[in-house]
Amino acid sequence: MSQQFTPNNPLPQEAKVPPKMAVFPPEVEAEIERHLAKYPVKRSAILPLMFIVQRERGGYLDPPGVAYLADRLGVRITDIWEVATFYSMINTEPVGRYHFQICRTLSCKILGAGKITEQCTKRLGIKPGETNDDGTFSLSEVECLGSCGTAPMMQIGFDYYENLTTEKVDELIEKCKSGELSNGVR
Amino acid sequence: MAELIKVIINGQDFQVEKGARLIDACRENGYSIASFCYYADLALQASCRMCLVRIEKMPKLQTSCTITCTDGMVVTTESEEIEKARRGMVEFLLANHPLDCPVCDRGGECELQEMVFDWGDLEERFTERKNYAPEKFLSPVVANDSQRCILCKRCTRVCDEWMGEDAIEAGGRGAHTVIGTYGGWLNCSQCGNCIEVCPTGTLLDATYRHQTRPWELSRTTSTCSFCSDGCQLSVGSRRGEVMRVVARDRYVNGHNGEFLCIKGRFAHPFVNHEERLRTPLVRYKKGGRLVPTTWEEAVRFAAQKLQEVKDAHGGSAIGVVGSPRLTNESNWALLRFARDVLGTDKYTASEAFSLAPFFENLSAPLATHKDIRHAKTIVLIGGEPEELQPLTGKQVRQAVRNGGAKLVIFNSVPIRLKEQAAQFVHIRPGSEDAVVLALASPGDAEVAASKLGVEADEIGKASQIISETAGDVVLMFGGELSAEAQSVVAQLPAAFGEKEGRRFLLHPLPLFNNSVGVHDLGLMNGALNPLEILDAAGSEVRALYVAGGFLPAHLEGREGALSRLDFLAVQELFLTETAEAADVIFPAASFAETDGTFTNSDGLVQRVRQSIPPVHQSKPDWAITSQLASALGTDLGFQMSSSNIFLDIAHGVPAYEGLRYPLLKDESKPVQVKHALAGRRDVTAQLAELRRALESLDENAEKITETPPVGHELFKLGVLTSKVPQFHLLAAGNPEPESVLVSPLYQITLDPGLRREAAAGD
Amino acid sequence: MFIGAIGCEPLQLRRVSLERSRTLDVYRRNGGYEALRKVLDGMSPDDVIGEVKKSALRGRGGAGFPTGMKWSFVPKDSPKARYVVCNADESEPGTFKDRYLMERDPHLLIEGMLIAGYALGARVNYIYTRGEYRYLIEIMDEALEEARTAGLLGDRVLGTDFNCEIYTHTGAGAYICGEETALLNSLEGLRGHPRMKPPFPAVAGLYGCPTVVNNVETLTAVPDIIKMGGDAYKALGTEKSGGTKLWSVSGHVARPGVYELPMGYDDMEKFIMEDCQGITNGRQLKAVIPGGSSVYIMPAEDIIGRDVRMDYEGLVAAGSMVGSGGFIVLDDTVDVFESTKNLTEFYKHESCGWCTPCREGTDWLVKVFKRIESGGGRPDDAQLLLDIVDNIEGKSFCPLGDAAAWPIQSAIKKFPEDFRRHISNGASGDGGKEGLPTA
Ligand SMILES: Cc1cc2nc3c(=O)[nH]c(=O)nc-3n(C[C@H](O)[C@H](O)[C@H](O)COP(=O)(O)O)c2cc1C
Ligand code: SF4
Ligand code: FES
């Protein structure tokens, strides 16, 4: 387990190369360019770019994605880390393909958010904060999503599903399983 | 003198300077105000909420750290309401803070502990489960117990604002906020200033962790023995062992504040290293073995051998070599030894380059580090202070970032400081002299520019920045300059002439802690320089008496030189390359074991104080020299006291006239020696030489385009730093260990075959 | 869900129920961009600010700061760029009006921002939308593109020499980024910590330049103010609170929705019982949180038969605040201990962590709530909660700390019984696992 390093031959090759940098297709690069063009300071585009990178890198900021962001925005990787960990929608760990985000705040709660979460847990076999084994589903409880008038509700990816009932939840899960439903990631 | 305004604090009138910060105004007038996040010379944070005061006509309690005094402001700093608020904050900070003071490295010198003592309540109302996180290593020298963090963010601000590295940040949010880095491993210059400023035991000196308790340490204020910045430090020792080095006490220290670099802070384990020479060693026969012996025998033998050479070839056949790493006192003893005991003019010091041409032509005072911090224009020719003189690097950065100074850099390497520069002139390698010529003689600028590989107007622009400066201009130069160029630089202030409101200051960037000292004492003014002495070994020079070793650069290509000598006496800490060739080796005391002074690049003469008794049988260099002199029949008259030697220096060296140890007592008021100013000198000869040299410059030489990585000089393994295992990891690229929960030293095997290099001050 | 006006002609909600209401075409056919035309046809920036001042429009984001005054703080002679930033972060629990304004009438916001940009000399403006509202960003982007194509945005707006660009920007899940200075940090690509004030954004905001941050509802009020004149707009409301206000109604009411009411609408009881069609399932009203989660909770007895006037002054008199107009109705199945715990968890989750009292205080509060809930209550726990809250209130770096404090203060004061029951009995029997009743 212990490694031998000498000052003359410092590091094993792979450790020395910085984490590989993600590469994106031209249409994604164009999208990134469009965002960068909005701001006089590149760093301003950090959040829009993080969403793009996480969409393209399987739902979260993996090390090559982080390296890409740092390079593209001209900041250190630790700057990416400090921002990414501040915002709850930026994932630094993998999440499931369908991310059920159930609002748990007051209006939804008093109108039955607890039952919705319970139903999801029952049907998906995961508790809030977990991802199922094959990575299809993640379940989260999130704070108020501005749908209090149509409570209870949840978001799958970016898509809103409102006035939920347990039956509707069952239906949604079926549609996810059959691949009929968009995962709302864009 | 700034305008004064009136503020009323707790019912009493005070005059304060307009624009003063309320917290400072209160403190200066005797009202203590608690604070964690407010920190001199760092951006405001206002997050700890400890400094709350009541200001009339304002709705809520206000943070005094963010308030600027206005005329007639009525302030209350002590009241029931404020006390409650303050106790409330302390209670909050303690809520999730583990009460593990008994095993915390900071216990006893923790600001949170002190605050709790002042403002805490006996009853603990927080009875819930505390948030937990394990203690981790961030690097070979920095550990982090994030549970103890109070998020004052001094560390992140210091890393950004002082060091310009921005290597450590706050991540997460709310109660889950943590200080750290992406991936958890810290790649930076490892200065440890984040540890220094941390008010709690969150960031920890990984080399000191769990070694002693702060109150078991005896603390000695001394001067760092590495580079020419001469940082003041506090050596913490216990039972004859140096346990740690910190920069405190910050409120006393005027020169470097809390700043130290990796070497000052973490390289001290060389002092008690097991490879330190233990006894005097003698080699009775050429080719024979070195055998341990007593001091009497070693001194007797050395005296006898020196006497033999003197008798046979005269005193001038013996060379004496001092060192810019030794104290002024030790070097002075050597010089006196050379002159008065041996009567030889072949004395020198193992210095990388001589500053003599510079000081001879000095036309403006030396800039102190304080001056640099407040300069309006800084010109840097060659050199790389972030790596070689880290305090200078910090002062330059702060001058630019906080003081709005303009930095002009002429360098063949795109050094990191260029990020701060108003103008970075990227020159060809080896063409630093041409910069000096172009600045001093505008007529030559065009030709010089083509040799430098820069646009002609770049020189003009730099000159213009200098000319237009209102305030201080600091001219700094590295070791790349030739003797002629040094002379001309020293005359640049005179060349630019006087202008109302502008002041020139000069700042050389030599490599060693006492480079300026060896110059001042005149040790470098002997007949031969170190290279010449080595070349003359076996011919003109039959014997050598060396304190400290030659530099690797001196010995390179001169491998046989030392063995050609009839006799070689060396006093050293370790069995270095020089010592290995010796016939007599005297074990010398390190800076931690001796009293004396170093003179830094500001010309500040600062005290070195003995922290521990000399290890094993070692003795201070000056004591060895005195003893040897006695054995040769001369009493140097020092009566075994370094203060007597300093007195002798004060009598013998004009710049040190009138100085005494008691005058150097107060670190908050460092004393600058009085280097004579030369006024305007004729440097036409030097300029002509520079012009001649210019011709031989290669116009097609490639430029260096890569910015060298952080630590490329700092982490080099010199004689001293190679004794510290953590430096090996850093020199090897600071590999990330498999687990951050265990010291990387236990996870990564070090290569025993060390490669030594000349590292700054080492 | 209802969306419309009660007690006045719909103003900001005039178009929301029209078919294809979000298209430029429908917007224009219903009076859209007339105000912009009027402004560009001869009003000076100062005229515009003057009308807004006259309108007595107060910021709808929550703080209620007079908008005209805020605009007049922007230095006129600054050589720096100036910015208008629309605060569409809408994250205050119970608030969802901005969402429908943008979803149904995006051009109204664009017109409002153009007028603000003209008045303040801003050439590049941003709409900062919470990250979860991605579909709204898409709607806004589409509308912006439409406007750009129609010459309403970009260079030479409506053929004049007024140039103005508007871009959308996305947040990524942080309530604190609704606070205007945190929003600016976030927009600069930093962590969303609030900034020190002063300097106020009007002097040094985005990229250090003078910046006005206004809520969506505030900016969408501007076109009507210009069209009808400040005085007429003000006359819709009261002397101190001009115009109309949107209320996001949720919770146990039969008809939740977004209601546009004139400022000073005369009776909260009537509003709940008639306009919102009363409490669901025939239950009794227990309490209302009238202005978003941060404001004081009002028990039914402070509403029923009290003629509570719905405007800034009226609600303060009744012991609460307008805030963001997030009107949460709680029936008598709700346990106020549990509802307060729910909100406290929200504030703990959303505390940015910058300052000691908010970061540590909210964490501690949640721990105490949880302990009480799980049966570990102690006699002095209510006092402990109040003490913790007192050490947060007024001492935090930004108002989030206060926002966390107020619900607890008012809940313990108005519903001591709910707290006492939990503290003495441990977990309440009626709450199920989550503690709150599930409908
Ligand atoms: C913690 C906190 C959260 C806030 N959230 C929002 C928000 O989501 N939307 C909003 O418009 N204003 C919000 N505000 C108010 C803004 O700071 C600011 O006052 C407002 O955007 C100004 O616009 P206005 O004058 O149009 O109201 C919040 C304030 C605080 C202290
Ligand atoms: S009150 Fe303090 S910790 Fe809370 S959100 Fe504001 S600044 Fe952040
Ligand atoms: S010192 Fe003022 S808030 Fe920390």
pLDDT (average), residues C388-394: 97
Residue C438, pLDDT above cutoff 50: no
Q: What is the pLDDT of residues C17-37, one digit of tens each?
A: 999 999 999 999 999 999 999
**Which member of C352, C355, C368 has the closest CB to residue B173?**
C352
What is the model's pLDDT at position A9? 45
For residue A60, give Cα distances in angstroms to A27, A66, A96, B410, C109.
Answer: 20, 10, 10, 44, 33
Give residue A14's pLDDT band: very low, low, confident or very high (50, 70, 90).
Answer: very low
State the Cα angle at C119 between C116 and C124, rounded to 5°. 60
User: Do residues B519 and B556 both lie within one domain?
Assistant: yes
**Tens-place pLDDT, residues B74-111:** 999 999 999 999 999 999 999 999 989 989 999 989 99
Number of H helices, E strands in chain B: 24, 29
User: Quick one: which ligand is closest to C59's CA?
Assistant: 1
Q: In this complex, which of C95, C187, C256 lies closest to A44 when CB atoms are compared?
A: C187
C348–B175 CB contact, under 8 Å: yes
Does A112 contact C439 at a Cβ distance shorter than 8 Å? Answer: yes
Domain of C385, in residue numbers: 336-432
The CATH code of the domain that includes B66 is 3.10.20.740
CATH number where B244 lies = 3.30.70.20
Instruction: Select from A44, A89, A101, A110 the residue whose CB has the most chain C CBs within 10 Å, as the one to mutate to test that interface.
Output: A110
Task: Please state, in angstroms and as integers, the Cα–Cα distance from residue B174 to each residue in A87, B133, B170, B707, C192, following that order.
Answer: 11, 15, 11, 37, 11
**pLDDT at site C342:** 98
CA atoms of B77 and B60, how far apart (whole Å): 13
Domain end, chosen from C184, C209, C236, is at C236
For residue C137 the two structure tokens come to 């960003």
Q: Which amino acids bring their CB within 6 angstroms of ligand 1?
A: C 59-63, 65, 67, 70, 87, 89-92, 176, 178-180, 213-215, 218, 398-400, 403
Q: Is the pLDDT of residue B757 over 80?
A: no
Closest CB to B60: pick one of C351, C387, C394: C394
From B69, B93, B117, give the residue that closes a domain.
B93
pLDDT in tens, C303-343: 999 999 999 999 999 999 999 999 999 999 999 999 999 99
Quick check: is C411 in a domain?
yes
- Give B335-390 as a DSSP string: HHIIIIII--S-EEE--SS--HHHHHT--SPBPPHHHHHH-SEEEEES--HHHHSH
The span from the CA of B309 to the CA of B315, in Å, is 8
- Give C58's DSSP letter: B
Q: Is A69 on the interface with B (CB under 8 A)?
A: no
State whether B730 and B621 are in the same domain. Answer: no
Count CA atoms within 13 Å of residue C393 on its CB side: 17
C21 within some domain: yes
Does B625 lie in the same domain as B520?
yes
pLDDT band at B159 (very low <50, low <70, confident <90, very high): very high
Q: Which pLDDT band, with edges at 50, 70 and 90, does B751 fall under?
A: low
Who wins on pLDDT, C240 or B74?
A: B74
pLDDT in tens, B596-622: 999 999 999 999 999 999 999 999 999
Residue A27: exposed, middle, or buried by beta-carbon count in 10 A (0-12, 13-18, 19+)? exposed
> Residue C43: helix, strand or coil by DSSP?
coil
Distance between Cα B606 and ligand 3 center (Å): 35
Q: How close, in Å, is residue B454 to chain A by CA atoms?
A: 27
Greatest Cα-to-Cα distance within chain C, rounded to the nearest angstrom: 72
Of C272, C297, C331, which residue is a domain's last?
A: C331
Residues C15, B78: Cα–Cα separation, whole Å:
58
**B619 neighbors B586 (Cβ within 8 angstroms):** yes
**Homologous superfamily, domain A98-178:** Glutaredoxin (3.40.30.10)
User: Does the Cβ of C347 fall within 6 Å of ligand 2?
Assistant: no
Inform me whether the pLDDT recorded for B249 exceeds 90: no
Query: Among residues 368-407 of chain C, which lie with CB inside 8 Å of chain B?
Result: 368, 371, 384, 387, 390-391, 394-397
Same domain? C276 vs C381: no
Cβ atoms of residues B538 and B408 within 8 Å: no
Interchain contact A37–B (C-beta under 8 A): no
The predicted model gives C382-390 an average pLDDT of 97
Contact A81 B736 (CB under 8 A): no
Q: Which residue of B has its CA nearest to C380?
A: B125
Q: Do residues B295 and B267 share a domain?
A: no
Q: Within 13 A of A102's CA, how many CA atoms are on the CB side?
A: 28
- State whether C373 and C312 are in the same domain: no
Measured CA angle at B419 (ends B414, B423), to 5 deg? 80
Least trusted range by pLDDT, from B735-739, C242-246, C288-292, C363-367: B735-739
DSSP B670: -
- Please state which of the ranges A1-15, A83-97, B219-233 shows the lowest mean pLDDT: A1-15
Percent of chain B with pLDDT over 70: 98
Nearest CA in chain B to A79: B169
pLDDT above 60: residue B141: yes
* B68 and B106 co-located in one domain: no
Q: Same structural domain for residues B76 and B183?
A: no
In degrees and rounded to multiples of 5, residue C338 shows phi and psi of: -70, -40
Task: Check B166 against A66: CB less than 8 A apart.
Answer: no
Query: Residue A7: which region, alpha, beta or left (left: phi > 0; alpha: psi -120 to 50)?
Result: alpha
Q: Does residue A64 belong to the interface with chain B, where contact is any CB pair within 8 Å?
A: no
Backbone angles phi, psi at A165, to 5 degrees: -130, 170
Q: Residues A1-93: name the CATH superfamily.
A: NADH-quinone oxidoreductase subunit E (1.10.10.1590)
Tell me, using a 6 A CB cutoff, whether residue C401 lines ligand 2. Answer: yes
pLDDT score at B752: 60
Best residue among C398, C402, C406 to mutate for probing ligand 2, ranked by most atoms within 8 Å of CB:
C398
Of C236, C257, C284, the domain-final residue: C236
CB pairs under 8 A between A and B: 78
Residue B717 has pLDDT above 80, yes or no: yes
Determine what percent of chain B is predicted with pLDDT higher than 90: 88
The runs of H, that is alpha helices, within chain A are 13-16, 26-36, 46-56, 63-73, 77-84, 106-110, 113-124, 166-177
Same domain, B264 and B371: no
B648 and B539 co-located in one domain: yes
| Amino acid symbol at B686 | Q
Looking at the fold, whether B477 and B538 belong to one and the same domain comes out as no
C272 with C186, same domain: the answer is no
The minimum CA-CA distance between A173 and chain C, rounded to whole Å, is: 21
CB contacts of B151 in chain C (<8 Å) are 353-354, 356, 359
Which chain C residues are closer than 8 Å to B83 by Cβ? none
Assigned domain for B688 exists: no
Structure tokens at A106: 């007051």
Identify whether C4 is part of a domain: no
B540 and B468, same structural domain?
no
Q: What is the torsional sign of CA B729, B733, B738, B742?
A: positive
Q: Predicted confidence band at B456 (pLDDT cuts at 50, 70, 90)?
A: confident
Same domain, C325 and C340: no
For residue C104, what is the domain's CATH number? 3.40.50.11540
Q: Is residue C2 part of a domain?
A: no
Q: What is the pLDDT of residue A44?
A: 98
pLDDT band at C436 (very low <50, low <70, confident <90, very high): very low
In a domain, B694, yes or no: no
- Quick: pLDDT tens for B584-594: 999 999 999 99
> Does residue B675 belong to any structural domain of this protein?
no
B389: in domain: yes
Q: For residues B510 and B551, what is the distance between their CA atoms, to the nearest angstrom?
A: 14
CATH code, domain carrying C293: 3.10.20.600
Q: Do C369 and C301 share a structural domain?
A: no
* Predicted confidence (pLDDT) per residue in A103-136, tens digit: 999 999 999 999 999 999 999 999 999 999 999 9
**Domain residue spans of chain A:** 1-93, 98-178
Q: How many domains does chain C have?
A: 3
Domain count, chain B: 5
Q: Is the pTM of this model over 0.90?
A: yes
B527 assigned to some structural domain: yes
Question: C68 and C49 in contact (C-beta within 8 Å)?
Answer: yes
| Domain assignment of residue B41, given as a range | 4-93
More confident residue, B123 or C10: C10
The neighbouring-strand residues paired with C299 are: C287
Q: What is the mean pLDDT of residues B315-322?
A: 97
Q: Residues C133, C193: one domain?
A: yes
| d(CA B666, nearest CA chain C) in Å | 37
Helix (H) or strand (E) holding B111: helix B111-119
What does the alpha-carbon distance between residue C370 and residue C368 come to, in Å, rounded to a whole number? 5
B498 and B537 housed in the same domain: no
Same domain as B266, residue B182: yes
The model's pLDDT over B655-682, given as tens digits with 9 standing for 90+, comes to: 999 999 999 998 888 999 999 999 899 9
Task: Tally C-beta pairs within 8 A across B and C.
Answer: 90
